[in-house]
Every structure is written in structure tokens, then in C-alpha cells.
Amino acid sequence: MKCFKVVILLSCALPIFLTGAEPSAFGAGDLTSSSPYGLTSNEKVILDTKKKLNKVAVKSNNQANELDSLRERIDGLQSVIESLSRKAHNNKINIQRRDELDSLKSKSSSEYEERLSVIVQSNSKSIEQQKVVLTEMSLLLDSINSKYVSKEEFNTLVNDVNNFKLLIAKELKANTKKKSPKNKLHKLSSSEVYKKAEAFYKKKYYTDSIKYFEELIKRNYKPSYSHYMIGEMNYRRKNYANAISYYKKSSALYSKAKWMPRLMLHTAISMSKTGDKDHAHSFFKAVVAKYPDSAEAKDAREYLQP
């Protein structure tokens, strides 16, 4: 019987810092949080895979402890089996002396019956002990089958890990690819794509606008602004977790941008909407502290009112 034990450690660190009076981290995208939010599609896959691997790792660690206990029990059973083996050998010798007993019978029938009775009792006791040993071993096998990682579970985990690797490889390949996909946007210059993205945004055609801004991000053309704009459209659609994710990337790329007051205000509101009140409060205070004369600071003060 095969036992599989998997101990996998998966860690992800995505440190992002703001400058000046801004909070040190957005909070979104924190995979170590008990309730992560604002995750990118890649971060969501990482979190899901991490949970699966941690679950199997915990189960494997528990099984290791149980295995030590089972080994001790097996060692005890081996001692019993060795003892029974010695008794069986002695019984065999006794049976071989049957001729001797036959001769004794002629001399003393009572002595013969007494010695024969001892042999029978010894054999019966050995048989009962062997039954107990077999039952114990059967229970051990059932315990191993029910508690340990099965081959099917192991193969499922391997498939999950392989799929995760393929996804990451695909993501890296897409990010390092120099040329944009061959579609209708491919024929447009970056400035033309930018103009169309802005035009769609003004008409509130957010689906098309996001598509064009994403193309700009692939081309690394105005990446901070493009992330900010996609964040704004998610914010307007009330997709607050996604909005925070794009705001976070925009700020990391260019923390002194002119749209930072609006970005921070909308980040604070989004955090409040997702239930992250502590981080939201910090961001409202940061808007007031860093941009005291801005319209965003005025709005932030209202949110800070008790």
C-alpha cells in the first residue's frame, strides 16, 4: 500500500507603499488577510491554490503524527507475532514427539492425556492470539485507508499545481510579449488607442473603454493613468474590490500624479463599501492631510464626521 505525503509551502509577497502622509498599504490584495479583497485574477488563483495546498499540508502533518502512533502499535504486534512464532515452533516439536507420547500411553494413560491436553490448550491459545493479531492489523489498514492522502487525492493536487504553473507561465508570457495581439487595435497607434479609450469613457461606454485602456497597459503606454481610469470605471460600476486593485497599481506606478486626490478619495470610499473601515478612515485622513485645499479633502472631511 502506498501513502502519499505532500508538504508544500506557497508564499506571496506584494509590498506596495505610498509616500508622504498616505497610508503605508492599501490593504487590498493582501493574501495573508483573513478576508482578502481587491484581488487581481492572478492573485485569486494564487489564493485558491494556496488554500488547497495548505489544507493538504495540514492533513499530511496530522497524518505524520498518527503514523508514528501506528508504527508503535505495529512494533507491539510484531513482538506478539514473534512470540506466537516461537510457540508454534515449540508445538511443532511437541507434535513430532507424538511417538514418544504413544509409548508413554502404554505406560501411563493418565500422563499421556495430561500432556496431550497441555498441547491442545497451547495450540488453542495460539490460534486465538493469532485471530486477535489479524483483527488488529485489519483495523490498522482501515485506519490508513480512511485517514491518509489517497492516490486519487494526491493526483488531484498534482493536477491543481500543474494547472497553476501553466496559468502563471501563460501570465508571464503575456506580460513579456513585445507585440500586442493581432486584432483591430493592433493597427492603431498608442495615441489613437488612447483617444478612443477617452472617447468611450466620456460616452460611458465602459466596456469598450476598459478594453482600450487594457490595450494601453499591455503596450506600457500611460500605464498609471490607464490603471486609474479602469479603477474609476469599476468604481462607477460599484465593483469596489476591483477598483481598489487598479487604484493600488496606479499609485505604485506614479504616486505624484495629478489624479491622486481623487484616487485616494475613491479608494477610501471603496474600502468603506467593502467593510474595511480602518483602512478607509486612514485614507480619508490622508486626503485631508496631503491635499487640504482640494475638493476631495472637503468630501473626505464629511466622511470623517462622527
pLDDT digits (tens, 9 = 90+) for 216-253: 999 999 999 999 999 999 999 999 999 999 999 999 99
pLDDT at position 178: 45
Distance, CA of 285 to CA of 301 (rounded, Å): 8
Sign of torsion, CA 31 26 276 232? negative
pLDDT at position 184: 78
More confident residue, 147 or 57: 57
pLDDT digits (tens, 9 = 90+) for 97-156: 665 655 555 555 666 667 667 766 766 666 666 667 667 666 665 665 555 555 666 666
What's the pLDDT band for 46 if we cut at 50, 70, 90?
Answer: confident
pLDDT at position 10: 33
pLDDT at position 37: 64
pLDDT at position 13: 31
Packing angle of the helix pair 223-236, 206-218 (nearest 10 deg): 160
Residue that has been written with the C-alpha cell 499421556 in this structure: 112
What's the pLDDT band for 49 if we cut at 50, 70, 90?
Answer: confident
For residue 267, the tally of other CB atoms under 10 A from its CB is: 33
More confident residue, 82 or 289: 289
pLDDT digits (tens, 9 = 90+) for 150-183: 566 666 666 766 776 676 666 666 655 544 444 5
Distance, CA of 281 to CA of 279 (rounded, Å): 5
More confident residue, 109 or 9: 109
Let me know: does 209 contact 228? Beta carbons within 8 Å.
no
Average pLDDT over the chain reads 75
Range in 1-10, 54-63, 99-108, 293-302 the model is least confident about: 1-10
Let me know: does 230 contact 204? Beta carbons within 8 Å.
no
